[in-house]
Amino acid sequence: MSSPTSVLLAGGGSAGHVSPLLALADALRRRHPRIQVTGLGTQSGLEARLVPARGFELRFVPKVPLPRRPSPDLLRLPLRLRDAVTAAGRAIDETGAEVVVGFGGYVSTPAYLAARRRRVPIVIHEQNARPGLANRLGARWTPYVATTFAATALPHATRVGMPLRREIATLDRAALRAEALEHFGLESQWPTILVTGGSLGAQRLNDAFRARASTLSQSGIQVLHITGAGKEFEPDVPMVGAPYVTVPYADRMELAYSAADLVVARSGANTVAELTTVGLPAVYVPLPIGNGEQRLNAAEVVAAGGGLLVRDADFTAEWIEGQLVPLATDGDRVARMARVAAALGEPAADERLADLVDRASGSRP
């Protein structure tokens, strides 16, 4: 394998693209201290703030959404795409990029096109079980295709897992548990459910748990509920019982995971990857929008027995009382699910993707 001196990482818009990009950037910098890692994104995406904050240069391309149905935007697409490809090509030329890595989304399509024209090797990472349009296109032009899930249908695909930040990938939950419980005001004698709908929260989860906060507390189950900013509520729980703690967000998810025995969450690719990597069983409630990718993201771990899948419409206060309470209080079952989940985790995904970058670098003509 070769050691690249300059790599361009294309991805942005959402945390789902930016998080693995940053994890790979960190892995490449650890492996090759003198490497130049440059991000490629849009000015309106999360990457505009997060990539420079991590100490990496960021270049910009115009945002070019690909219309999925006939519209005026479809007529403007060729000109917009041409401008974006020109900007991506300029970034490749000016940084001397020897490999272009794409994570899907608006930014990756022009990056793949510009790299192909210059015969610069392309590496692709697909986060979701169902691949997006940009990566389906790019995978036609490279043998270096990495996926998070084994079932992802892309040519030349190799499962590497989801690159995660080191605080999660190397997390020792048992070692941090006492600190985590104290941090959130929880107690060691109760099983703990972590509820999280991501940074924006999930109203379906919030409403159902709020309606059964007292039931959970009286059943001897403590809850750490990340509601989302602006969605906090005061749980109606008895004075005597297990704690029910609500927070708008958690700056240190490693502590939230360390406090938990069981998780209730959406099934975004990053969430599924983090929970399996840290060995936490979960009740996954897929977001009922898009093309069904969240359901597919959780399919493998659910089929193996490391989680449960509940339709959004079925996740109700009654489901919590009738199904979740018996599960959370069955320590043996939760422990079995945890072992299965952990067996599917890929804590070294960042290094495995970095291996692929090195291989691609060695293939340069």
Structure tokens at 236: 């109606």
Q: What are phi and psi of 337, to 5 degrees?
A: -60, -40
Q: Tell me whether strands 244-247 and 222-226 are parallel, antiparallel or unpaired.
A: parallel
Tell me which DSSP letter residue 345 carries.
Answer: -
How far apart CA 182 and CA 187 sit, in angstroms, is: 8
Give the pairing type, strands 192-196 and 262-265. Answer: parallel
CA distance 256 to 248: 13
* Tokens at 215, concatenated: 């039931």
The Cα–Cα gap between 360 and 48 comes to 27
**Strand locations in the chain, DSSP E?**
6-10, 36-41, 57-60, 99-102, 122-126, 144-147, 157-159, 192-196, 222-226, 244-247, 262-265, 282-284, 307-309
Give the annotated binding-site residues: 14-16, 128, 165, 199, 294
Backbone angles phi, psi at 309, to 5 degrees: -115, 125
Nearest to 47 by CA among 64, 26, 22: 22
Residue that the structure tokens 């401008």 belong to: 83
Residue ranges for the binding site for UDP-N-acetyl-alpha-D-glucosamine? 14-16, 128, 165, 199, 294
- Distance in angstroms (rounded) separating the CA atoms of residues 172 and 153: 33
